[in-house]
């Protein structure tokens, strides 16, 4: 593994844009569906539902790719700064795709990166601040989204709206996490270069 710690701040701007674009299109899609634009089949849906769905698809997958790259890079920085004591960068991303483990392992990896960014020397004792709130919103959002995909049309639309509304504070918390962690790791990167 390359031992270079990259400045993630330029990438973090795209992560934040992607998170907010996904939240916007999710809310737009839910509102369009609730306003009578959704039907049992795609062909009869309104133009607003189609546009919001396409926007959501593109923004979500674009944001996913960029966010996973950012997670890899911040986990790599933590791994390098602790001489391999934290979660490996590949697993920091990979845990999101492992059933059941994805309920807590990605949080552990992000918590370690956060703690290392705050205090490299004594990182296990660093408090996690707002990370539990972010992770709780992430888990809640995913549970509600999955339930809305499995229920009949009418309750699914209302649960979809709840998920869409949850995406707003989730995007806000994720924005805060990305900005704070990127800035802190930038400081750690400078300290490592001049050490």
**Alpha-carbon gap, residue 136 to 105, rounded angstroms:** 13
Find out whether 75 and 89 touch, Cβ atoms under 8 Å: yes
Within a domain: 171: yes
Within a domain: 68: yes
Within a domain: 4: no
Asked if the model's pLDDT at residue 45 lies above 70, the reply is no
Helix, strand or coil, per DSSP, at residue 194: coil
**Alpha-carbon gap, residue 95 to 57, rounded angstroms:** 22
Within a domain: 1: no
Instruction: Decide which of 44 and 186 is more confident.
Output: 186
Domains of the chain: total = 1
Instruction: Decide which of 2 and 173 is more confident.
Output: 173
How confident is the model at residue 149, as a pLDDT? 84
The mean pLDDT value of the chain amounts to 89
Within a domain: 73: yes
pLDDT band at residue 156 under the 50/70/90 scheme: confident
Written as six digits, the tokens of 81 are 């700064």
Domain that holds residue 77: 9-193
Position of tokens 């593109």?
Answer: 58
Within a domain: 117: yes
Within a domain: 2: no
Asked if the model's pLDDT at residue 19 lies above 50, the reply is yes
How confident is the model at residue 195, as a pLDDT? 46
Q: What is the pLDDT of residues 83-138, one digit of tens each?
A: 989 999 999 999 999 999 999 999 999 999 999 999 998 999 999 989 999 999 99
Within a domain: 80: yes
How confident is the model at residue 194, as a pLDDT? 37
Q: What is the pLDDT of residues 125-152, one digit of tens each?
A: 999 989 999 999 999 999 999 998 888 7
**Alpha-carbon gap, residue 132 to 140, rounded angstroms:** 12
SS (H, E, C) 89-106: HHHHHHHHHCCCHHHCHH
Find out whether 110 and 72 touch, Cβ atoms under 8 Å: no
How confident is the model at residue 32, as a pLDDT? 85
Written as six digits, the tokens of 136 are 């709780």
């Amino acid at each position: 593994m390359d031992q270079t710690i990259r400045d993630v701040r330029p990438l973090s701007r795209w992560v934040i844009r992607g998170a907010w674009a996904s939240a916007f299109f999710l809310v737009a899609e839910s509102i369009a569906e609730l306003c009578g634009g959704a039907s049992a089949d795609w062909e009869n849906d309104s133009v607003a539902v189609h546009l919001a769905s396409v926007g959501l698809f593109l923004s979500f997958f674009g944001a996913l790719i960029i966010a996973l790259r950012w997670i890899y890079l911040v986990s790599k920085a933590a791994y390098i700064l602790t001489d391999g004591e934290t979660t490996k960068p590949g697993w920091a991303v990979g845990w999101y795709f492992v059933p059941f483990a994805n309920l807590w392992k990605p949080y552990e990896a992000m918590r370690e990166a956060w703690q290392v960014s705050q205090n490299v020397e004594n990182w296990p004792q660093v408090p996690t601040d707002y990370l539990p709130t972010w992770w709780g919103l992430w888990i809640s959002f995913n549970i509600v989204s999955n339930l809305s995909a499995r229920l009949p049309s009418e309750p699914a639309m209302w649960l979809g709206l709840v998920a869409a509304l949850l995406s707003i504070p989730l995007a806000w918390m994720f924005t805060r996490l990305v900005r704070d962690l990127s800035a802190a790791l930038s400081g750690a990167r400078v300290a490592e270069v001049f050490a």
